[in-house]
Amino acid sequence: MIQKLKNYEEVALEATGASGGINTIWDKRKWELMTQKISRHWIRTELRNPNTKEQYSIINVYSPNHYREKEQCWKSVKEEIAERQSGHLILGGDLNLIRNTKEKFGGTFHNDPSREALEEIIGYYKLIDIPPSNGKYT
């Protein structure tokens, strides 16, 4: 059971089996929900700050491990981004892929075919990959 946090709202996609659950949480005192959409592998949340009028489109992804499913996941993310409203874009979550050899520790680096779809999204929308500062993950 998830405890509701005071002053916060959320959109969640329940886990299927041992994986797949994702959750986007925001402070309702600072952000208002404009729209939301839940897909099999991601949640899109459009938030707006009523004071500054800034809008953010947050796409929180739990990408599958299997290549065919992963390719479909990234295709649907790309389509969703193209349809989103104006404002800033934040893409995050568990992407289940390694972008380059610098992110790989130990073992052999295998080029994930779906990485190209993610790289295309990052390049086209000029997204910034934030490197970890005090942990393993971004």
- Please give the DSSP secondary-structure letter assigned to residue 101: G
84 vs 107, which has greater pLDDT? 84
- What is the rounded end-to-end Cα distance, in angstroms, of the chain? 27
Closest C-alpha among 41, 44, 43, 90 to residue 65: 41
Residue 83: count other Cβ atoms within 10 Å of its Cβ. Answer: 8
Q: Which fold has domain 8-101+111-124?
A: Deoxyribonuclease I; Chain A (3.60.10)
Whether residue 137 is predicted with pLDDT greater than 80 in this model: the reply is: no
Instruction: Say if CB 81 and CB 61 are below 8 A apart.
Output: no
- Please give the DSSP secondary-structure letter assigned to residue 98: -
- Please give the DSSP secondary-structure letter assigned to residue 11: E
Note the pLDDT of residue 1: 41
Whether residue 110 is predicted with pLDDT greater than 60 in this model: the reply is: yes
Question: Cα separation of 60 and 37, whole Å?
Answer: 11
Instruction: Say if CB 55 and CB 85 are below 8 A apart.
Output: yes
Note the pLDDT of residue 105: 66
Give domain limits for the chain.
8-101+111-124
Question: Cα separation of 137 and 100, whole Å?
Answer: 14
Note the pLDDT of residue 129: 86
pTM: 0.83
Least confident of 28-32, 72-76, 122-126, 132-136: 132-136
